[in-house]
Amino acid sequence: MLPKLITIFLAYISIIIFISGIIIRLAKWYTKSRNIASYTLYPKSGFPSVILRITLFPRVFETNRLLWISGWIFHVSLILLLFGHLRLFQEPYWLWNILKLETYEDVSRFAFISGGITGVLFISPVFMLLARRMRGTLYKLSTFEDYFILLLLALIGLTGNYMRFMLHIDVPKLQQFFIGLLYLNPSPHQPTDPVFLVHMFLAELLLIYLPFSKLIHSISATILTYRFTR
């Protein structure tokens, strides 16, 4: 019953909440009234310059180079991990052709090495940010949410790396299961490995929490800044 609850019911519920939450946030941002203070974020900025400032973190670069590097590593590794997880729904044959990976063993070896490196790169900045919040002025200013989201990301990374390095993952079987979820026809044989269930539960919790968290700041900054500087 527990595997079915986590892998099917919570999977659909978390996706529904995530999409609904994003739509609600978008509606609030779009209907937000303009005011004088809003124009001071990036005055006289066009959309391309806003995107560059948000993605390159120039203010962080000027004040803390180590934090800037860690932030870049975190965001790049996160994007790569999301791309890698798309393999559960569709094999990127175009990429295998580019890399000249001809056999399943070649693909598995590449996925293990690239996924392992990316997983380590993802979790390292998380621990650095967590340690950073545990000392100095930032410790006094940090809230429960600051620690919660970092711990959640750390646990997701730890369980993912554990599966990558310590467990044998039957990728074709997982692909069948997730494709069934995608087409609203879940398989009666759900994954039962405890570590996988914990990993998936934590990912679902992140999806539920994300639209209402501070992590959504980059999207809100992009939309609001572009709207107020048009």
| Burial group, residue 156, by CB count within 10 angstroms (0-12, 13-18, 19+) | buried
Q: What domains sit in the chain, N to C, each tagged with a CATH number?
A: 64-219 (1.20.950.20)
- pTM confidence score: 0.85
Q: Give mean pLDDT in consecutive 10-residue pieces for the chain, a chain of 230 residues.
A: 91 94 82 56 56 70 84 90 90 89 89 92 92 85 88 95 90 91 89 94 94 72 56
Give pLDDT, residue 63: 81
Q: In this predicted structure, what is the pLDDT of residue 162? A: 95
The one-letter amino acid at 142: S
Ordered alpha helix ranges (H), the chain: 2-4, 10-31, 47-56, 58-63, 65-85, 93-98, 104-132, 136-141, 144-166, 171-182, 194-209, 217-228
| 207/144 Cα distance (integer angstroms) | 18
**What is the reported pLDDT for 228?**
54
**pLDDT score at 155:** 96
- DSSP-assigned states of every residue in 97-123: HHTT--SHHHHHHHHHHHHHHHHHHHH
For residue 39, the model assigns a pLDDT of 46
Give the pLDDT score at 227: 57
